[in-house]
Amino acid sequence: MASQAPVLMLLLLISSSSLLPLAFSSLTGLAQIRSSAKFRAPSWKQIKEAVSFLNDFVGLLTNLLSPRQPQPSNIPQLGRISSTSNALTRLNVPFYTVDVGIGSPPQPTTLLLDVALDFVWTQCRTCTLCFKQPSPNFDPSKSKTYSKIPCKDNLCQQAPSPSCSADCLYDVEYDTDLWTPGVMATETFALGSASFPNLAFGCGTNNSGFDGIASGVMGLGRGSLSLTSQLKVSKFSHCFVSYYNNTSVVSSPFMIGDSSSLSPSALSTPFVRNPAMYPFSSFYYLSLTAVTVGTMLVPMPSTVTQVNYTDSTGGLFIDATTPLTYLDDPAYKAVRQAFVSQIKLPLKAAPEGFDLCFALSPNVESVEVPDVVFHFQGADMELPPKNVFIADPAEGLLCLMMGNSTGISVLGNFQLQNMHVLYDLGKQALSFEPAQCSMSYKTHAWPLSYVLLCVCVRACFTFVNAWSA
């Protein structure tokens, strides 16, 4: 286990003129941060909506791990969207999407980026039940390269909940309000300036879900049908822009291909072997050995550090779609107590979706909070306060962006703001380093060409084309 990080109390700046702090920094960086106009937080209401909207995710995982779960072939796909799925259109927090072209000629399509799951699908014009989407539905009849996958093809057997009538069919049920059964097919995908033929995907024909945010999902998980598996790339990386950026549309670097790289100072931790049961088989598991909160080092129990390969419980995986980090209940309680014992503020009732909140006095401008370090196997991830807490001076609240779970733990995207994260599939390791993600694609001397692929609610990705230097 990594050694304990030096004890440091960081100053959390709270702006009385906005619902969230402009930024967070150590004492030495206050002048620079205060003079910066780069950051403006989304509203407290929007953050609460986002947390409430997506926190059912861990509950759905717990249901999959219950003793009454069905056999793996009948297990519904992992849920991400709660029963208030149309709330996505009101949120002002990062839902990371990618714009691609599907078909020949390419038809513009917006897909939700998902590093946990391994299936690529989009809503098709042939749908009998359709949700609103930002671009026209993909029309297979207008593409000369669209081809249905035969029932006897091996790709059909790899589809989620496959079945066959006249066509090879798939069926994905994320939640009671988000599902997509449809037809398995192959098609040409345009990613930046490059095109890739014969990629397997789902053509959704009876869909419910995103309502204006995306047309489907781009899965980058460890399964055979993910985009990364089909392209046979060895690396990809993302750099999530901050929740606090003050512009309505911000681009973030997203690199895919062998040339994805970080600086020599980046830290790395190995992936942990994942269970065989779907959907856990597609997750990128990590070994979190301890969490430092200020002066306290909290060791993680085996339910966080180890995966039980018999029943698929335990372990921690990284997820780009879930805002909060969730720790298995005993681990979370210990971390929670470490915060409570060191933050000199009274506790206050937490809004729905949160667990631990402190009371802020009116017109408060700053409050000391503990330094936080996630100790992974071989690498320490130091988290600035803005990646740990969210504040609303108007409601007198300072809330921890972590929660408890049962049976599995999740590293969420709030903790990954302004962190360049590289998935090295060849070395089976995750590497990371701090970065100014909103500026990285402008200031970094990329060895490859890049094009802007997406526009979403608060953030988008730049796809760096690894095949056209």
Q: What's the mean per-residue pLDDT of the chain?
A: 75
Write the CA distances from 127 to 13, 130, 203, 313, integer angstroms: 49, 6, 9, 36
| Closest residue by Cα to residue 204 from 260, 159, 271, 242 | 159
- Identify which has the larger pLDDT, 254 or 220: 220
What pLDDT does 11 receive? 32
What is the average per-residue pLDDT within 248-276? Answer: 84
For residues 412 and 389, state if they share a domain.
yes
Neighbouring CB atoms inside 10 A of 80's CB total 23
% of the chain beyond a pLDDT of 90: 49
Tens-place pLDDT, residues 152-178: 999 999 999 999 988 999 999 876 677
Range of the domain at 401: 9-38+262-424
Which two three-digit tokens encode residue 84?
A: 């208030």
Same domain, 276 and 232: no
Q: Give the DSSP letter of residue 343.
A: -
| Catalytic entry in 56, 114, 328, 371 | 114
On the question of pLDDT at 329 being above 60, the answer is: yes
Residue 48: inside a domain: no
To the query of whether residue 371 is one of the catalytic residues in this protein, the response is no
DSSP type of residue 80 = -
Residue 1 lies in a domain: no
Q: Identify whether residues 246 and 274 lie together within a single domain.
A: no
Q: Is the Cβ–Cβ distance between 188 and 195 less than 8 Å?
A: yes
Number of domains present in the structure of the chain: 2
Greater confidence (362 vs 81) lies with 362
Q: Taking the complete model, does pTM exceed 0.95, yes or no?
A: no
Burial class (CB in 10 A: 0-12, 13-18, 19+), 362: exposed
Do residue 171 and residue 272 come from a single domain?
no
Backbone φ and ψ for 414, nearest 5 degrees, come out as -65, -35
Look at residue 103 and give its three-state secondary structure.
coil
Q: Is residue 209 predicted with pLDDT exceeding 70?
A: yes
Provide mean pLDDT across the span 357-378.
Answer: 89
Range with the lowest mean pLDDT among 8-12, 119-123, 150-154, 335-339?
8-12
Is residue 302 in a domain?
Answer: yes
The confidence score (pLDDT) of residue 48 equals 55
For residues 345 and 398, the answer to whether their CB atoms sit within 8 Å is yes
DSSP 258: T
Q: Are residues 86 and 216 in the same domain?
A: yes
Spatial contact of 14 and 367, defined as CB atoms under 8 Å apart = yes
Residue 24 has what pLDDT? 27
Torsion sign, CA atoms 64, 65, 69, 71: positive
151: CB partners within 8 A, 6+ apart:
164, 167, 168
CATH number of the domain at 277, please. 2.40.70.10
* Whether the predicted pLDDT of 189 surpasses 90: yes
- The C-alpha angle 12, 16, 21, rounded to 5 degrees, equals 35
Check whether residue 134 and residue 248 sit in a common domain.
yes
Q: What does the alpha-carbon distance between residue 343 and residue 464 come to, in Å, rounded to a whole number?
A: 42
Instruction: Pick the catalytic residue from 56, 319, 328, 392.
Output: 319
Per-residue pLDDT, 364? 76
Residue 95 is predicted with a pLDDT of 65
Instruction: Report the pLDDT value the prediction gives residue 65, as an integer from 0 to 100.
Output: 52
Most confident among 17-21, 64-68, 76-80, 202-206 (mean pLDDT): 202-206
Q: Do residue 33 and residue 79 come from a single domain? A: no
Mean pLDDT to the nearest integer, 393-414: 90
Q: Please report the pLDDT score of residue 302 as a whole number.
A: 96
pLDDT of 35 higher than 90? no
User: What is the residue whose two structure tokens read 């997509």?
Assistant: 180
* 224 lies in the same domain as 272: no
Cα–Cα distance, 18 to 276 (Å, whole number): 47
Same domain, 268 and 246: no
Query: Strand, coil or helix: what is 52?
Result: helix
Q: Tell me whether residue 329 is one of the annotated catalytic residues.
A: no
What average pLDDT does range 66-79 have in this prediction? Answer: 29
Yes or no: say if 237 and 115 are a contact pair by the CB < 8 Å rule. Answer: no
